[in-house]
Amino acid sequence: MASPMRIRAKTTDGVTEVKALMSHPMETGMRKDADGKPIPAHYITEVTATHNDKLVLHAYWGPAVSQNPFLNFRFKGGAAGDTVTIKWVDNQGESQSEQTALT
Amino acid sequence: MKMKNGLFAALAWVTLAALNVPAAAVAQDAGDDIFAQYREMFGDDNPAELIELQGEDLWSQTRGPKKASLEQCDLGLGPGKLDGAYARLPRYFADTKRVMDLETRLIHCMVTLQGFAEKDLVAKPFSGRGDQPSDLEALSAFIAGRSRGTPIEVSQAHAQERAAYERGKAFFFYRAGPHDFSCATCHSQSGKRIRLQALPNLTEAADARKAYATWPGYRISEGTVRTMEWRMGDCARQQRLPELQFGSDIAIGLITYLGVMANGEPMNAPGLKR
Amino acid sequence: MHRTVTWSLLGAALCCTSMLVVAAEKPDPLGDVAASFKARGQAGMDRLERNPMQQACSQPTSAEPPVDEANEIRSGAQKRVRPPSNGQYLGDWKAGETIAQTGKGMQYSDDPAEPNGDNCYACHQMASSEIAYGTLGPSLAQYGKLRGNSNAILEYTWSRLWDSHIYNVCSHMPRFGDAGILTEQQLKDVMAYLFDPASPVNQ
C-alpha cells in the first residue's frame, strides 16, 4: 500500500484514545468488473496495536469492513511521548505498519 | 446481544413495511431519525480529522518549482492567517481583482508561491471514489477545520461580491437540461427527501445554515473528503447538465449565494456525510 | 445667466439620456452561463439553452407565470403528447419496476447506450414493500387499485408521464415522453407497474 496509515493518539486522564485511518481497498471478492470477471478478494485479516511494545488490541477483520477503514479504540494508561504502533496484514500477504507518538 | 436503539428501530421499520403498515407510519421516520441516530453512533469518529493532519502537512511542506511552502498564502485575513479564514470565503481579493472561494484561492497560492502550473492543478482537482484525498481536498479539510466555531461571514461589501451572489441566486433557479432540473427542484422545499436522503431547503436560513456549515465533509459513500466545488459540480452532473467548470463564475456564484444564506451560523467542518 | 441656464439644461438632458440608456441595458445577473460549462459525454452545451417553459419557470418565487404564458405552455405541451403507436397503454410491470428503481440515464457519466431509468422512487412512494422512497412527489401507492383502468385514467396517466406541465405549469417532474427520456415501450412498462393488478404497487 503506497499511502501511509494516519494515526493520532491522545492521552487524557489516564486513558489513551487512538484513531487510525488506513488505506486499503477492502475488496470483498463478491464484485465483478465491467467484463463480468470477479474482482479478487483483498481485505485486511488481522490488526494489532501495541503501546510501547505491549499488545493493546488484536482484531480479526474480514470483507465486511469497508474500504479505507477507520479504527478508533481506547486503552488505559499511556503518557505523552510513548509510542503506539499499528500493524495490519491482509489476505494477499501484504502488510503495513505505522507508529506515532502519544500527545 | 444488546443492540443499539438505532439498529433495532431500523429493523422494526423494515419489518413493519413488510407487513404493509400504512405508509404514513414509516414515512417521517425513515428519512431523518435513522440517520440522525447513525450519526450519533459515530460520535466524533470522523475520518476527516486525520485528513486534516494531511492538509496541515501539505500547508507547511516545501513544494513545487519555487521550493516554497503555503505558509505565506493570504486567504483574506493576511498571509498565513488561517483561523476564521474559511468562514469569510468566498470574498473579493484586490490582488486578483475577483471573487475567489477557498479552492480557487489555494490554487492561486500554489501557482504564485510554489510555482505549480495552474492547468496541471485544475486538470484533476478531486480524487476518485475511494482514493486517497487530493491535495486540494486535504488542504480544504485542514483550513475549514481552522474555522470551527467561527460564525460564517460571507461579505457583500464589494460590488463583485454582490454580483457573485446575484449570479449564484439566479442560477439556483435556472431550469435547464432534459430533466428541467434547477437546484431549486430539490432544494427549495422544507421537509422533503430524495429516496432516504433529507434535502435541505437552501432558500431558507434554517436549513441553509446547517448545510453550508458542514462542508467540506467526509463523505462515507465517496470514501474521502469532498468540497463545495465538488458538490456544485456533482449536482450539475446529476441535473443532466454539461460539466460545471472548477472555479467558474457560476460555481463561485453558487457558493457565494449559499454562503451568504448561511451567514451567522458557526462553522462546523469538516463534517460527516453519508 | 443665460449661458449658465443653457449649460445646466444641456447637462440635465445628457444626464437623463444616459440614465435612460443605463436603465434599458440592466445586465442579466447570470452573465454568460455557457462560459462556466464544458460539454462532456452525452451532455452537450445545447442543454443550457432553455425552452419557453424552462425560462418561465426559472423564477425565484413559487408564483406561476402570467395566465396567458401559462396557458400557452400547457396547451403546447398537450399538443405534443404522442399516445402509444398501437393504442396499447400497458406493457410489462416487471420491466417497469426496474425502470422505476433506476436513477441513471442522461448524465455525462452515463453510457448513452444503456437505457435510461426514470427514477420514480427518488420522489415517489410506490410499492409499499419499498421503504427507500422520496417525498418530493405525492404517493403513488395502490395507484391502479384506487383508480381502476378506464380509458380516461390511462390517457391521463400517460400524458402525466409524457409531460406533467400540462397539469401543473411549473411541475418539478421531468417530461419523460416530451424530453425523450423514456422510449414508448419503457413508458408502457411504467404504466403497467402503476396499473397491473399483479404489480407490487397495487398490493
Question: What ipTM does this complex have?
Answer: 0.87
Query: Chains with ≥3 Cβ pairs under 8 A against C?
Result: B
Say which DSSP state B22 is in. Answer: -
Asked if pLDDT for residue B5 goes beyond 50, the answer is no
pLDDT of C139-157, one tens digit each? 999 999 999 999 999 999 9
Query: Per-residue confidence at B9, pLDDT binned at 50, 70, 90?
Result: very low
List Cβ neighbours of C36 (8 Å cut-off, separation of 6 or more): B244, B245, B248, B249, B250, B251
Adjacent-strand bridge partners of A100: A84
C-alpha cell at A68: 479505507
Using CB atoms, which residue from A7, A19, A68 is nearest to B223?
A: A68
Q: Which chain C residue shows the shortest CA-CA distance from B18?
A: C129
Distance from CA of C6 to the nearest CA of B (A): 36
Read off the pTM. Answer: 0.86
| Residues C111, B13 contacting (CB under 8 angstroms) | no
Asked if C123 reaches chain B (Cβ–Cβ under 8 Å), the answer is: yes
The beta-carbon neighbor of B180 closest among C59, C108, C175 is: C175
Model pLDDT, residue B220: 83
Q: Measuring CA to CA, which residue among B253, B252, B256, B232 is closest to residue B244? A: B232
Mean pLDDT on A24-41: 91
CB A80 within 8 A of CB A11: yes
3+ Cβ–Cβ pairs closer than 8 Å linking C and B? yes
How many Å is the Cα radius of gyration of chain B? 20
User: What integer pLDDT is reported at residue A34 of this predicted model?
Assistant: 80
- Compute the CA torsion angle A60, A65, A67, A70 (nearest 10 deg): -70
Q: What is the pLDDT of residue B76?
A: 97
Tell whether the model's pLDDT for residue C4 goes beyond 90.
no
Tell me the chain B residues in contact with residue A20 when contact means C-beta distances shorter than 8 Å.
50
pLDDT at C47: 98
Contact by Cβ (8 Å): C50, B176: yes
Q: Measured between beta carbons, which residues in chain A are less than 8 angstroms from residue B53?
A: 6, 8
**Which member of C43, C122, C203 has the closest CB to residue B195?**
C122
Q: CB contact, 8 Å: C82 with chain B?
A: no
Contact flag B53-A19 (C-beta cutoff 8 Å): no
Hey, are the CB atoms on A72 and B50 less than 8 Å from each other?
Answer: no
Query: Which pLDDT score is estimated for B3?
Result: 42
Across the interface, which of B53, B132, B220 has its CB nearest the CB of A8? B53
Chain B positions touching A70 (Cβ under 8 A) are 45, 47, 50
C7-37 tens-digit pLDDT: 555 555 555 555 554 445 567 899 999 999 9
